[in-house]
Amino acid sequence: MFSDPVKNLKQFGLRENMIVADLGAGTGFYSIAAAKMVPNGKVYSIEIQKDYINTIRNKAAELNLENLECLWGNLEEKGGSKIKDEIADAVIISNILFQIEHKDRLVEEAKRILKKGGMALLIDWEKESSFNVGLGNLLSKEEAIEIFKNKGFKFDREIDAGEHHYGIILIKEK
């Protein structure tokens, strides 16, 4: 079974008035689910592929999700999300870490936009999964945690993210 955004976000603990950023939103599975869970908050959906941004906008319009804002951005650049410093309560980084060349820059961008004590949900492919053939530069859960720790995050807990994925929650310390 693949990773279920609603199940994963419930384990993450989003609350109705949070500001959330979905970094590397793809076609918006997490963004749409998060927008439904934070009806009095805001979800920023950041994606580099403009076609995906249009897909997310159309889905949000269909569902009357007025708390979802789509932004084009390059997450490997400082300020690339186009979100203000320390504005987000939570960030979602799902199935993109393995695609990013400069993983540390993505983590730095997540840290920049998160408030102190803010939460990061990292979902990615298990390095040892039989499904990962040709998926690129996969990191183990331990390697991913180490990158986040080196950038000022502390490990909080794991979540059950499905058979082929790991899920970890990290907290911005400083």
User: Which CATH number is 22's domain given?
Assistant: 3.40.50.150
**β-bridge partners, 23:** 46, 93
Q: What per-residue confidence (pLDDT) applies to 136?
A: 66
Express each pLDDT in 17-63 by its tens digit.
Answer: 999 999 999 999 999 999 999 999 999 999 999 999 999 999 999 99
- 130 pLDDT more than 60: no
- 42: domain range? 5-172
The domain tally of the chain equals 1
Q: Are the beta carbons of 18 and 90 closer than 8 angstroms? A: yes
In eight-state DSSP terms, residue 98 is: G
Q: What is the pTM of this model?
A: 0.94
Collapsing DSSP to helix, strand or coil, 80 comes out as coil
On the 0-12 / 13-18 / 19+ scale of CB atoms within 10 A, 73 is buried
What tokens were used for 128? 């040892």
Cα torsion 58, 62, 64, 68 to 10°: value is -30
